[in-house]
Chain A
């Protein structure tokens, strides 16, 4: 039990510290998405001069918003699931079933991290984005698609870390530990439909 708690600590601390940073970046991203699209409407409708980049820039933001916000939602149990059976089962059995489900999720995420890495570093990542440039001292640098694809990779890596924390918590609960630090509760969050 002590070993397990020692193991839990780094994961829990990481998630406590890193996920809120992701949340803040996501908030900025969703605001910038709105701004980019409004800029496009203004330039096209008012100035009759559509810009090439707002569409892609907004998608860039949306993907990063998703990759950075999903881990926090997952940690707080915000993923849509049917928990009828888990509620009906006795406590120990429910914890055991949860463990199995978490293990399945871990395998999915493990595959995702492996594939995601080869995707980002692979051929598809070498495609240039259609319209996104970064100003560098020696001119405009064309942003590669891998910068966009990295959003999902980062998302699944963070979710895998969350998943490990949840597994450790689950085992500890099964073993009867009661003094675990709570996961910061969600603000009144509306779950997805």
Chain B
């Protein structure tokens, strides 16, 4: 047999081994290593050993120190401001719609990929968009939130990015930047009174122990996970290897879609067993949240570079996917 040198892809995620990112990477590694018969190896660095935030890690991806990196929209909005489209509230109704919209090849994903390619001058490729942690919900230490009025005056921790802050403000709460490692203590002592996170992060960080006992499933944002790869590295692969890597990312995406659903069952149960108050807003109440958040759409399309284009692509794709899903449903019911 001819001897070829093993290609080692260095992948990193700034999370931990309980995270969906890890589940996805494990599946990717397993798939790629088997499908390539060992010609491609994947070396995983989970945590912050190589780099510790979006700007730093993306620079590593751009110059080839890191081959594969996963980021939330917040981590890369400093260079790709348009990715904040994923943080726009209430655009995608549920997991099924989101998974359809984020499928590679839709108008939305293609637009995102083109914009990443263009902004980075080809240095970085957006390989796929998966999920990390389900949906963002409002949680707080003070009271049950049924309508936006209940959020009035609450200090809600957000990352320092424009859109989450605009949204929090639009809903009447006070956005408060607190570094993630200080969030537990800050909730506990009352420096902030709430946060917007997915349930698995809430439980993983033991926030209920810090008093975070009221959770409203408003599902305001899908926690998209953007998987990037160094462009040169990808282009240097043979066509067969490229196919394997692309398929690997498909497998990865599917794993990250599934993983939070399974994990959140236990997480929600643990949350309620610990005395947590879980509230599901009625459709009317959910509409009230969406109405209150409306100014954010205008803000996004007017102030963010590329915002209009990516917003249009997103809404068009959502419409198309919803129609497809409805048609499928009907076909099955018949």
Instruction: Verify whether A and B have any Cβ pair under 8 Å.
Output: yes
Residues of A that sit less than 8 Å from B by CB: 44, 48-50, 52, 55-56, 118-119, 122-124, 126-131, 145
11 sample A-B contacts, Cβ–Cβ < 8 Å, listed by A number: A44-B155, A50-B176, A55-B179, A122-B63, A123-B58, A123-B123, A128-B79, A130-B159, A130-B161, A145-B55, A145-B78
Q: Chain B: interface residue count, which band?
A: 20 to 34
Complex Cα gap A126–B55 (Å): 9
A50 in contact with B63 given A44-B155, A145-B55 (CB within 8 Å): no
A124-B55, A127-B54 known, 18 other contacts, Cβ within 8 Å: A44-B155, A49-B174, A50-B176, A52-B175, A55-B160, A55-B177, A55-B179, A118-B63, A123-B58, A123-B62, A123-B63, A123-B79, A123-B123, A124-B56, A126-B79, A127-B58, A128-B79, A130-B159
Residue of A nearest to B161 (CB): A130
Q: Establish whether residues A127 and B78, one from each chain, have CB atoms under 8 Å apart when the complex forms.
A: yes
CB distance from B105 to the nearest CB of A (A): 27
Taking the closest CB of chain B, its distance from the CB of A144, in whole angstroms, is 9
Q: A56 touching B123 by the CB < 8 A rule?
A: no
Q: DSSP class of A's interface residues: helix, strand, loop or mixed?
A: mixed
B16 beta carbon closer than 8 Å to chain A: no
Tell me the total A-B contact number using a CB cutoff of 8 A.
Answer: 56
Please report B residues at the A interface, Cβ cutoff 8 Å.
54-56, 58-59, 62-63, 78-79, 81, 120, 123-124, 153, 155, 159-161, 165, 174-177, 179, 191
Give the distance in Å from the alpha carbon of A131 to the alpha carbon of B163 in the complex. 12
Measured between alpha carbons, how far is A167 from B160 in the docked complex, in Å? Answer: 45
**A130 CA / B153 CA spacing, docked (Å):** 24
Give the most central of A55, A122, A123, A128: most B CB within 10 Å. A123
- Residues of B close to A56: CB separation below 8 A: 160
How far is the CB of A47 from the nearest CB of chain B, in Å? 9
Query: A52 to B165, Cβ gap below 8 A?
Result: yes
Instruction: Give complex CA distance A154, B124 in Å.
Output: 28
